[in-house]
Structure 1
Amino acid sequence: MRFEAGQTVVRRYRRGPWRTWAQPMRVIQDDDAGLLLWAPEGGEFARLIDVDGRSTREVSPDRMQDPKLELHAWQGNSVLILMPPGAGYSVWWFFSGGEFTGWYVNLEKPYLRQDDGVETTDLVLDIVATPDRQWEWKDTDEFAEFVGHPLYFDRAAAAAIQDEADRLTKLIDSGEFPFDVTHTGFRPDPGWPLPRFEPGALDR
């Protein structure tokens, strides 16, 4: 089952029994290259927050007090996300004021399709790259902290995640797809409404 260009789907993250993130996004294309999604600044998203206001960036879900998905507005940039089929990562193109400002590589499990979107699991380690392909690691301390945690990854899995990340940095260095000019000139239809959750979407 493939999604239709123009429809809104929900991109979700899961950690064990918890949904930790959900974001409605517009489908740009869904083909052999992967699922390409668009989220403009101002659109809705939800993330798991506990009663103390802590997110999963600060504490694992099993240590949260009464965690719930809390609704927010996406701020700071607009983002185009490519999720290649079967890949252990997604590639993000960031835009500000309509101009491409760089890539973000999110290490994550291959996504699973659902009736209204897709679900994956974040693997913590990330890469940030400028338009001229100067890159740096992100969240390395957090990645190291969660090695061995039963909700995250053991040492062997962490090594495999790092190997895949290293492979992707070589693609950045060489300017190979998707770190070439592909999608850097993307312009959304100005008539598209902001993506929002349908009633009950956060409960699915």
Structure 2
Amino acid sequence: MSILPHSTPAAVPDGVRPMGEAPFLRPGDQISWHYRKPGWQPGDASTITPMRVVRDDERGLIAWLAPGTLQEGQGTPAGERIRTVPLERRWLDPRTRIVEEWWGHGILRIAPAGAAWSVWLFWSEVDGTRWEFAGWYVNLENAHLRTDHDTYSSDHILDVEIEADGQVHLKDEDELIAAIEQGRLTSEQAAQIERHADAAIASFRAGEWPFDPEWQNWRPDPTWKVPVLDGLADLQKD
């Protein structure tokens, strides 16, 4: 179901396998979740988030992004975070590697095997004992390719927000248009992304995994420490 090519052998390591193929990690193990642009080359900016494995099996990967996690992110030479770059030059400016902290509450990410999206569960008003489920965020992306401790995808820009009461909204439609205008995507690729959004919404409305209620009540193991990204110290020195 992937639509954006990884383009070159350098874009992902040798020996990658599709999500859902053994060997699998155990709960509590660390995995790094990578987002790379199509045609990524070594040294290019990407987003790399260290996470704790919740479940890893034939159905896919479930991982926990803890509050306060330091991740490798993407910025501009001027020091701007990508999300703050004006839309008219969002995919034209060069990108650099930066360190950034995950500032929100934790997120449970679920990457179903073979799907062109991952499902992120959000909670609000977390005080250690009381969690309020805030809804799902469907991140449209390439189906993941992985090694034992890393998983790789490419973001598709358009996303789907699903509120806790089931209301559905498309997100970043303006960014998708800008991506076409700036050469990040073709019109044909954008149309395929929109079809994937429709498929994800249909999956939610059918109550398919991973939208079933069990994950709304999930809680992280309190003994888990915030994972540390390999190479983070060297990146902080740059």
Instruction: Report the TM-score when normalising by structure 1.
Output: 0.88
Instruction: Give the letter for the 2:59 counterpart.
Output: A
Q: Offset at 1:60?
A: 4.7
- The match for 1:120 is 153
2: distance between equivalents of 1:13 and 1:202? 20
2: distance between equivalents of 1:78 and 1:7? 17
Instruction: Report the TM-score when normalising by structure 2.
Output: 0.76
2:141 equivalent to 1:108 = yes
Q: How many residues align?
A: 200
User: Deviation digits for residues 12-69 of structure 1, max 9, x if unmatched?
Assistant: 11113234211000011111110111011111222111122234443456522xx332
User: Deviation digits for residues 114-134 of structure 1, max 9, x if unmatched?
Assistant: 343111100000011111111
Residue range with higher mean Cα deviation, 173-182 or 105-114 = 173-182
2:119 equivalent to 1:86 = no
2: distance between equivalents of 1:171 and 1:112? 22
- The match for 2:24 is 2
Residue range with higher mean Cα deviation, 94-103 or 35-44 = 94-103
User: Deviation digits for residues 89-109 of structure 1, max 9, x if unmatched?
Assistant: 000011231332110000000
SS across alignment from 2:192: helix
1: distance between equivalents of 2:45 and 2:113? 21
Structure with greater contact order relative to length (CA < 8 Å, sep ≥ 6): 2
1: distance between equivalents of 2:36 and 2:179? 16
- The match for 2:18 is none
Structure 1, gaps ≥5 residues long: none
Instruction: Give the letter for the 2:174 counterpart.
Output: D
SS across alignment from 2:209: coil
- The match for 1:155 is 187
Instruction: Give the letter for the 1:159 counterpart.
Output: A
Structure 2, gaps ≥5 residues long: 1-22
Q: Offset at 1:161?
A: 1.0
- The match for 1:36 is 62
Instruction: Give the letter for the 1:154 counterpart.
Output: T
Q: Offset at 1:195?
A: 1.7
More helix by percentage = 2
Aligned alpha-carbon RMSD (Å): 2.1
Structure 1 residues 201 and 111: alpha-carbon distance in aligned structure 2, compared to 1, 3 A threshold? farther
2: distance between equivalents of 1:201 and 1:117? 19
- The match for 2:13 is none
